[in-house]
Amino acid sequence: MTSVLSTPRSSFLLRGGWIAAALSLSLLACAETGDKATIDKPVFNPVAFTDLNGWNADEHVKALKALLKSCPPLERRGVPGYGTAATWRDICRGARDVSENSPGGAQQFFEKHFIPAAISGRDGPTGLITGYYEPELRGARQHTARFNVPLHIRPPDLVTVSLGRFRDDLKGKKIAGRVVQGRLVPYPDRGKIERGALKNRKLELVWVDSAADAFFLHIQGSGRIKLRDGVIMRVGYAGTNGHAYTAIGRELIARGEIPREKMSMQAIRGWLEVNPADGAELMRTNRSYVFFRELTGDGPLGAQGVELTPKRSLAIDRRLLPLGLPVWLDTTEPDGAPFRRLMIAQDTGGAIRGAVRGDVFWGPGTKAADHAGRMQSPGRYWILVPRALRPAS
């Protein structure tokens, strides 16, 4: 079994030319879907696995299990610029052949099928790594005095338009709204919806007991609702009203309410609890509003449509990088401990923008919420590119 670890350095560097060329073509395809004036185009630099700090110490079998969840869509569609469906069928076939009781086999699998490439952006090789989690809310299927904050399903009159279908220079851009007298107009924003714009339309999926919890669920995109009878209901993203996302943490910094160095999800929650009236107004500065659907299965779904794996699923900027690729992440946990492990790019998010920008999925529960809320770490990452992209000699 050949691996980069046993490949002479000079030979590896010679092969770097085809990797860089392939990645440049992939980058052009990705860049077409973003804002050409502001997009943070990544630069790729092929390296060896020996250059990845902590690579040999990772539990690669856990990353392999996460990759296997991504295999069905990869095998159906491939990854434009990063391997055809046939390429990924070969890779996934090899992944399924690895025994769960063979940690060394999982490491050898990744070394056999991939080559790592370091990523740099506009600000260099280091970027911001944050975290997210699966929140748990208290709820009821019927409106009561306590459970009075609705989570809505996607309204049938909500229209999402992919502008690239009309003009090539608008590829990757979308708008949403509703049709009124033959014209597409903006959909009601958060404030209007919270004041009753969707009332009496039977769009309530479930009712929860906290406006702040519902707001953070909108940000996370999926979560669990513990109903009064103890049943756990899972909900996931079904669409948005089309208005731009505004980070209320940034707004609190601008108002001088919370110093930048002390900003965290916990700090925002604390401020909302102390200032409930002002908090309602603050949350409405984020005009974006998320609609939900009920999910089945054991975990939340990411943007790739597969179940996320705690501490192995990574949200990336899909304008710049594709979903499904393995990513070696080197960063720190909120307490400063090293966080070096192989992740799978399985999700994205409105705030995830940049060539070196990642969001670690920490899973459900209080501990996960604490880690996710406090994680604001500098970090680097390397994508693992299929070796099969190498042209035949």
Provide the 8-state DSSP code for 202.
Answer: S
Domains and CATH numbers, the chain: 4-130+306-362+376-389 (2.40.40.10)
Distances (CA, A) of 260 to 263, 268, 336, 354, 374: 5, 12, 19, 20, 13
Phi, psi of 143 (to 5 degrees): -70, 130
- Strand intervals (E) in 70-186: 114-120, 127-134, 136-140, 149-152, 159-162, 174-180, 183-186
DSSP E strands, the chain:
43-46, 114-120, 127-134, 136-140, 149-152, 159-162, 174-180, 183-186, 204-208, 222-227, 232-240, 290-295, 313-315, 326-332, 338-347, 357-364, 376-386
> Taking CA 212 as the corner, what is the angle to CA 250 and CA 214, rounded to the nearest 5 degrees?
110
Answering whether pTM is above 0.85, one says no
On whether the CB atoms of residues 311 and 302 are closer than 8 A, the answer is no
Separation in Å, CA 306 to CA 67, 149, 329 = 10, 29, 20
pLDDT tens for the 393 residues of the chain, in order: 322 222 222 222 223 343 443 444 344 334 434 444 457 788 999 999 999 999 999 999 999 999 999 999 999 999 988 999 999 999 999 999 997 777 789 999 999 999 999 999 998 999 999 999 888 999 999 999 999 999 999 999 999 998 989 988 888 788 999 999 999 999 999 999 999 999 999 999 999 999 999 999 998 888 999 999 999 999 988 999 999 999 999 999 999 999 998 888 889 999 999 998 899 999 999 999 999 999 887 778 888 989 999 999 999 998 899 999 999 999 999 889 999 999 999 998 877 889 999 999 999 888 898 888 889 999 999 999 999 875 443
Cα four-point dihedral sign 273, 278, 280, 286? negative
Tokens of 98: 């690895």
